Structure 1
C-alpha cells in the first residue's frame, strides 16, 4: 500500500512539474525550475558580483529566475534595460514590496510606495529638491562646508595610514541632515552616532541570507531572534528620530520661510488639509526622511570610498587629476559644481569610478503592473522586474574595455568629455533616482576638495588595495587603509 502511495505521489509531482514546465514555454529562458524551491538554486548560497552577468551569457539578455511560484525577470545589457525602463516605463513602475519591506516601510514614503501615494510623494520630492537649490549655490555651500570638515579630519592623520570609511559616511550623512533637518550634527554627537549605526546596520542586512530567510518564512521569522530583529529596530530608530525632528519643526512652523525638506512638507500638509485624496501626513513624511537617509548616504559614501581606493591603486591617473585641478582651480580659489565643465579629465575619472565600481548589485526590484510582451517573451502581470544596471555599465558592446578602470571611456581624441548613453548608474524611467543631482554635486565637490588637498598613497609595504567587493545589497570595498599626504608638504 505504501509503495502505491509513493508511486502515486511521484506521478502527481511529475505531472505538476511537466504542466509547470509547459505553462512557462512563452516565458523568457532561465535555469531549471524545480518544485517548491524554484530556480534560485542556480545562484547558490553566496551571490557573487558577476552572477547575473554570467546567467545572461548563458540564457540571454532577458531571463527568468523563479522564487517558488514568483518569476523574477532579469533585464541584462544596455538594449534590454533601455527597452524595459523606457518603452515599458509605466508597466514596470511599481515597486516590489517583500514581507520584510512591508514590515519596515508599510508601503509609505517615496521609494517603497506605489500608486497614488507614490505619485504624490515623488512629485513633492522632485519639486522640493529643486526648491532647496540642489545644484545651486545655496546647497553647494553646505556641501562645501562638509567637504572642508572632511579635509580637516583627513589632515589629522598626518599622512599616516587610516581607514577613510567612517569619516566619509558621516560627512555624506550630514549633507542629508542639512537637506532634511536644516542642520548638521557634530560627529561626536551620541544621537548622530546612533543614527549612523542604525542606518549602517539596516543596509548590511539587506540581501543577506537572513533577509532571504525572512522573505521566505516571514510568519515564522518574526517570532524568532536573529539579525532581522536588529534591522527592524534600526529602521524604527531612524523613523523615531525623524518624528522627533518633525515635532521640533512643528513648534516653529510658520515663523519663517521653509528652510528644509520638513518645512516644505509641513507647508504642503497645511495646503492639503481639505483634500480627501491627499497622502501628505506625518507618517509618510517620516518614511520620506528614512528613504533619503537610506538611499542618499551609502550610495555617495561608497562611491567616494571606491574613488580613493582606485586612485591610490592608479597613481598615474591621480597625478593627471592633480595637474588638471591645479591648473584650473588653483589652491585657494573657491569653486562650484559648474566648474566641472572646465575639468574634463577629472569629470571623466569620476564617471569612470561610478561605472567601473558601480555600487548597487540588483538595483531596486520593480513589479509589472500588467502583462507585457517584450522581445518575443511573455512577462506576466505581477512579475518581479530586475533591471541589471551593472550589466549596462559593463556591456562590452558599449564600452571599449569594460573590465578595466579606464577614464578614456569618457574622453574623445582631443581630451574633451563625452557623455555616453550607456552610463545609467542612477537608473532610468519613472523610478529614476530622485537624488541624482544631489549625488552628482556631492561627489564632485568632495572629490575635488580631497584631491586638491591630498595625495593618496598606499601604506608602506602594500603593493595594491583589494578591489574585490563585499557583496550585499551594495558592493562595498573591503576595509582598507591609505595615507592622505598633504600636497603642500609633498610638493
Structure 2
C-alpha cells in the first residue's frame, strides 16, 4: 500500500513515536473475532490493503477468509461483512445488534458523536424518530416533495438549455439542483444558481467529499494522532467543516429571529420548536449544537450522494448510448414529450426504472457503507462478536455478488428485469444500507434520481465529447465514496 508518499521505514519510526496516542484504539482484543490475514504490529494489515482500492482489497481477502473475517486497520480490529448473504444475516436479521454507528476519526473530530448519522443509543433513536416526523411534515414521501423536485428540475433544464452548442462539466449544475431540494426542506427556500454563498457551500461539500474519499482520510481514520502532526489536505477538511458550521449557525440565527413559534416553515423551525418544548429538560437531546450537526448530516447526505449518482449516471449513459436511446424511446411511448414524467409513471417505465437501479448498483456510491458498531454481544456465522465490535458492511460486495446479479462487474440493466421485461426488484440492492441504519433520505434520493434523469433524457440527447469506447468509468476517488472522473457533456435538444 502506498502510504501517502512516506517511505515505510520513516513511517514505522513515526508510528513508534506516536504509539502513545493509539492505546485506546488498540484496546479491543481480537481473541473472539473471526479469523483473518496475519497483522503486523502497529500497521495491522495496511500493507495488504491497496490505498484507494480498499473495497477491492477487502473483497479479494474475502475469497480466502470467507464472508465474515477480521482485518486490522492499523491498531484497530474491524470485522468485514462481504456478500449479500452475510450482510443480510447481520444488518437485517440482527438489525438491533448491528444498529450502532462505528466511529470514524475524521467525522468524530467534527461531530463529537452528535447529529443523526453518527450518534448512538437514545440520542440517535430520539433524533431519527423526530427527523422522520419532521421531514414527512415538510413533504418527504408525499406529492409535495415531488412538486419541489419538479420545480427544481425545470430550473436545471433551463440551465442545461443555455449550454447547447458548448460542452460543459455538469457537476456544479447537478449539485445546485439536488442541494436546492434539501434547502427547501431544511431552510424553507432555494438559492439562485449564481448565488456566491450557495456556490461556496457546495464547493465545501464537494471538497470534503473528495478528501474523505482519498488516502489522506483513510490514514487519518487509522492514525489520527499521527496525521494531526503531518501536513496534508486533511487539515483543509477540518477548515471546511468549520466554515460549514458557521454557515449553518447563521441560518439557525436567522430562523430564531424571524420564526413564529408553533408555526414551523421548515425543518429548522420544527427543531427549534422542539427545543422550546424541552428547554427545562437537562437531558434533552434538542440543543443548538445538535441542530447544527443534524442539518449538516441532512445536507451532506442529501446533496453529495445523489448528485454523484446523477453525474456518474450521465457518464455511464455516454458510455452506453444505446441504453440512453432505449430509455428515451420508452419515455416517448409512455409519457410523450409534452408532459413531464412523474413518480406515478415509474411503474409504467420498467426499462427506465431498471436502468436507474443498475446505475446505483454498478457505481456503489458508498462502497464500504458507513461503519457499524455492535450494540450488544452477539453471534454471527458461528463467531462470537462482543459489544462494541467495529464492523465494515461492504455494500459493494452485495452489488457485485455473482449469485445475485449476472455479470456483476458489467453494466447490465437486465439485472432488474424479468424474462417478460417487467421491472424486478432485488433484495441485494443496497445503495442506502439495510437495517435500522438505512439512510434517512432514501425515498427522497430515489425520487430525485428518477425525476431528474427522466426530465433530462426527455428533453436532451447526450453526446460524448470523445468516443464512447474511450470513456473510462473508473472512479477518480474511491474511499468513503466512489466519485466519477471529471467529464464534459454535450447536449442536443430532442
Q: TM exceeds 0.5?
A: yes
1:360 aligns with 2:366: yes
- State the partner residue of 1:476: 483
SS at match of 1:468: coil
Q: Deviations over 1:374-425 (max 9, x none)?
A: 1112323222101111110111011122122111111122221111121121
Kindly indicate whether the alpha-carbon contact (under 8 Å) linking 2:54 and 2:479 is maintained by their aligned counterparts in 1. Answer: no
217 and 352 in structure 1: CA distance in 2 versus 1, 3 angstrom threshold: closer
Question: How many residue pairs get matched?
Answer: 466
Larger Rg: 1
Q: Match for 2:294 among 277, 288, 312?
A: 288
Q: Deviations over 1:196-230 (max 9, x none)?
A: 11111221121433224433443454355432221
Q: Match for 2:182 among 172, 176, 184?
A: 176
User: TM-score scaled to structure 2, two decimals?
Assistant: 0.90
Kindly indicate whether the alpha-carbon contact (under 8 Å) linking 2:55 and 2:396 is maintained by their aligned counterparts in 1. Answer: no
SS at match of 1:50: helix
The aligned runs of 1:89-238 (5 Å cut-off) are 89-222=95-228, 225-238=231-244
CA distance in 2, matches of 1:76, 1:224: 33
CA distance in 2, matches of 1:180, 1:198: 18
CA distance in 2, matches of 1:100, 1:461: 39
**Could you tell which deviates more after superposition, 46-55 or 385-394?**
46-55
**Could you tell which deviates more after superposition, 431-440 or 53-62?**
53-62
Kindly indicate whether the alpha-carbon contact (under 8 Å) linking 2:218 and 2:479 is maintained by their aligned counterparts in 1. Answer: no
1:414 aligns with 2:420: yes
CA distance in 2, matches of 1:154, 1:472: 30
Kindly indicate whether the alpha-carbon contact (under 8 Å) linking 1:110 and 1:121 is maintained by their aligned counterparts in 2. Answer: yes
Q: Match for 1:35 among 41, 44, 51?
A: 41
213 and 353 in structure 1: CA distance in 2 versus 1, 3 angstrom threshold: closer
1:385 aligns with 2:391: yes
CA distance in 2, matches of 1:219, 1:70: 14
CA RMSD of aligned residues (A): 2.0
Deviation at 1:51, TM superposition (A): 2.0
CA distance in 2, matches of 1:363, 1:106: 20
Structure 1, unmatched stretches of 5+, are 1-19
1:336 aligns with 2:342: yes
1:275 aligns with 2:246: no
CA distance in 2, matches of 1:462, 1:314: 7
Deviation at 1:296, TM superposition (A): 1.4
1:486 aligns with 2:488: no
Deviation at 1:26, TM superposition (A): 4.8
CA distance in 2, matches of 1:100, 1:316: 42
CA distance in 2, matches of 1:399, 1:461: 28
Deviation at 1:24, TM superposition (A): 4.9
Deviation at 1:64, TM superposition (A): 0.8
SS at match of 1:145: helix
CA distance in 1, matches of 2:416, 2:221: 41
The aligned runs of 1:449-460 (5 Å cut-off) are 449-459=455-465
Q: Match for 1:429 among 428, 431, 435?
A: 435
CA distance in 2, matches of 1:256, 1:310: 47
CA distance in 2, matches of 1:293, 1:262: 12
- State the partner residue of 1:12: none
Deviation at 1:28, TM superposition (A): 1.6
CA distance in 2, matches of 1:216, 1:406: 36
- State the partner residue of 1:16: none
Q: Deviations over 1:8-58 (max 9, x none)?
A: xxxxxxxxxxxx9xx856532211112222122210344255222212112
- State the partner residue of 2:20: none
Kindly indicate whether the alpha-carbon contact (under 8 Å) linking 1:99 and 1:215 is maintained by their aligned counterparts in 2. Answer: yes
CA distance in 1, matches of 2:220, 2:393: 23
- State the partner residue of 2:453: 447
- State the partner residue of 2:50: 44
Q: Deviations over 1:86-134 (max 9, x none)?
A: 2222222111223332211121110011111111111111111211111
Q: Match for 2:259 among 253, 263, 267?
A: 253
406 and 218 in structure 1: CA distance in 2 versus 1, 3 angstrom threshold: closer
CA distance in 1, matches of 2:335, 2:79: 47
**Could you tell which deviates more after superposition, 64-73 or 453-462?**
453-462
Q: Deviations over 1:269-322 (max 9, x none)?
A: 122233343201111011011101111111111111121111111122111111
- State the partner residue of 2:70: 64
Deviation at 1:330, TM superposition (A): 1.6
Q: Deviations over 1:342-375 (max 9, x none)?
A: 1111111111111111111211011123332211
Deviation at 1:338, TM superposition (A): 2.0
